[in-house]
Structure 1
């Protein structure tokens, strides 16, 4: 077992609060395992519900408090796995929570599109919401030292950090697992979620996004390449984001005449998924996209770090029309920090226009010598 950094936080919420706990995240990152392990350490009599089972779908979508009371009678804690599969789950959880305020409720969901849409309004003020990612560097650091992690850097960039991928013994098994994982859920869930008919265009869009990691993405250009409208491209990207496949980084701008802010950069939640989309698992010394892999790795690992530490920051990239740029920006508590990512051990100076426009902002180059302090 790889200890999860969220475990202590969620355990505390279960014990000290009666709010509903919602745990989001991609499939196969360990949401169910985490909750089950926590439940096993707690003194509550717990009912674990698989939302794929029709009997539970019927009762938990019924809006019938008497039926739901019968279901949970004698239990202290209700755990609903993949709750987005239950119709009207939000209003039913509200009914249950309001009628039985001492019943502890935990739900998991692999689609923020489905679960958030079905719970947000009904459960306002009644939830604690968390996101579980593929394994983070911080979680691995609990059991491995910096030298051991550095030796695995190439593995992380090629195969990602899904729990099963990390524990498989060789590259062949890792690739096989990633192919099965992507075919089993990556397209299926999204296609079902939004009734998308053109699976081939979704795959081609993902491939184009994979090739453009670290670059600004133009929905117009993507639409022209795929024979789709700009609005359809944006809809598909939004669905991919809500299914925890990709996420966006917007351009930072307070000087609209000089700074580019209209297009986003798009990164993958996991580099193994990114690489399986384009079927590219070559060693790093044979690749032309190491810079893009390094950038995606640093951005997603920093996102995990901030989320698990409860450190909230607005995140961006920065570029001017004259060509000055920074890979990553964080804005927190009124302070700006800019970062340039270098896979080599090279250093770099802050762009003069960055210093001139934001004189109080920080600037740091993140390379292989200091990336662990940035991510831990």
Structure 2
């Protein structure tokens, strides 16, 4: 079993008088994580799986006395796949406010359902975290540094989902199963998408554009779907933890791009499955884009697990000067360029340095990426 960084964070938050919410894509290991926390706890624990219809129905009756009967002597209550419970936000609010001698830990695989139903009722009553596919740091702890580095090319091609890492030789089958429907089945179930084949076509179009600016109008013309629907689907896929948007950095200078975004996949293995391309890096013409996607995701994981808040962007001008990645933290700007080949040079664009004060800049290659990920 691969130890997860979030386990330590969650254990520190137990018994602080608030619910603990764990969100993340399907198959990232949320259930495994909370079962491990349950088994290591000295408190009496109760595990409730809301995927089971009977449990879901019982929890949808939030009478305080009835809930106390369900919980019995347990002081640590785990509710898995909580987004499936009707009015889950009010249920969790009642538990936190009225049954104060228990610790509530809740998981959800679909943020657009769970978050929208819990944010208002649980204002000031929750700690909320994300569980991603395995992080580079977790892989190093599970194996060792040299072994992890030897796997780097594989991890960029096949990604970091736990099942993928733990099942050598079966990576393609696992990734095809995830990418064909399972990863975003919540979208179909909760949002009643009438033509799910559009989701697949949209994802394939986005998979070919990682590292490039995305035009919603161009996607609309390519897929013959109106722009409003494109934006809606991208929003759903983002909330289901399949993709994420990186906005442009701009202070409203005329020469800067401000309308287009970049879209990355939370896992490069899923991206490669969508286009059915698992060729080794040396044979690929998208190696640079894959590297950019992989390293930005690993930095995002590291920021989250280290509780480091940063605004993140890319930058480009109409004259095509560009910076791959910018982090803005406490008013300071750190800029990074991602080059698989460390021999490639990068010069900070004068159009940027003339206007903005730079705190730190670096080229991130496969020879120094671990320092970037670990914030060394």
Identify the residue that residue 152 of structure 1 maps to in structure 2: 151
- Is residue 2:247 matched to residue 1:253? no
Contact 1:187 1:199 in 2 (8 A): no
Matches within 5 A, 1:15-54: 16-54=15-53
Identify the residue that residue 359 of structure 1 maps to in structure 2: 357
Matches within 5 A, 1:190-339: 190-339=187-336
Equivalent position SS for 1:6: helix
Aligned positions, number: 373
The runs of 4+ residues in structure 1 deviating greater than 6 Å are none
Contact 2:247 2:260 in 1 (8 A): yes
Q: 1:127 to 1:187 in 2, by over 3 A?
A: closer
Shift of 1:184: 4.6
After superposition, what is the alpha-carbon deviation per residue over 1:244-280, rounded to whole angstroms, capped at 9, x for unaligned? 0000000001143121111110000111111111111
TM-score by length of 2: 0.96
TM-score by length of 1: 0.96
Shift of 1:42: 1.0
Distance 1:349 1:147 in 2: 31
Matches within 5 A, 1:79-228: 79-170=78-169, 173-228=170-225
Distance 1:187 1:252 in 2: 30
Distance 2:221 2:281 in 1: 32
Shift of 1:122: 0.7
After superposition, what is the alpha-carbon deviation per residue over 1:33-58, rounded to whole angstroms, capped at 9, x for unaligned? 11111111111111100102222222
Distance 1:99 1:109 in 2: 22
Identify the residue that residue 59 of structure 2 maps to in structure 1: 60
Unaligned 5+ residue runs, structure 1? none
Distance 2:240 2:262 in 1: 17
Shift of 1:64: 2.2
Identify the residue that residue 371 of structure 1 maps to in structure 2: 369
Identify the residue that residue 10 of structure 1 maps to in structure 2: 10
Distance 1:253 1:174 in 2: 40
Distance 2:347 2:255 in 1: 20
Distance 1:187 1:126 in 2: 28
Q: 1:342 to 1:13 in 2, by over 3 A?
A: same
RMSD: 1.2
After superposition, what is the alpha-carbon deviation per residue over 1:77-120, rounded to whole angstroms, capped at 9, x for unaligned? 11000000001010011112211111111100111101001111
Distance 2:262 2:148 in 1: 28
Contact 2:89 2:121 in 1 (8 A): yes
Equivalent position SS for 2:141: coil
Equivalent position SS for 2:247: strand
Shift of 1:23: 0.3
After TM superposition, the structure 1 stretch with the greater mean CA deviation from structure 2, 127-136 or 68-77, is 68-77
Distance 2:250 2:37 in 1: 43
Matches within 5 A, 1:335-350: 335-345=332-342, 346-350=344-348
Shift of 1:224: 1.1
Q: 1:184 to 1:236 in 2, by over 3 A?
A: closer
Q: 1:349 to 1:118 in 2, by over 3 A?
A: same
Equivalent position SS for 1:130: strand
Shift of 1:347: 2.8
After superposition, what is the alpha-carbon deviation per residue over 1:182-238, rounded to whole angstroms, capped at 9, x for unaligned? 235134221112110111111100000000001111111111111111111000000
Equivalent position SS for 1:141: helix
After superposition, what is the alpha-carbon deviation per residue over 1:258-313, rounded to whole angstroms, capped at 9, x for unaligned? 21111110000111111111111011111111111000001100000000011110
Equivalent position SS for 1:142: helix
Contact 1:219 1:230 in 2 (8 A): yes
Distance 1:330 1:92 in 2: 38
Unaligned 5+ residue runs, structure 2? none
Contact 2:184 2:237 in 1 (8 A): no
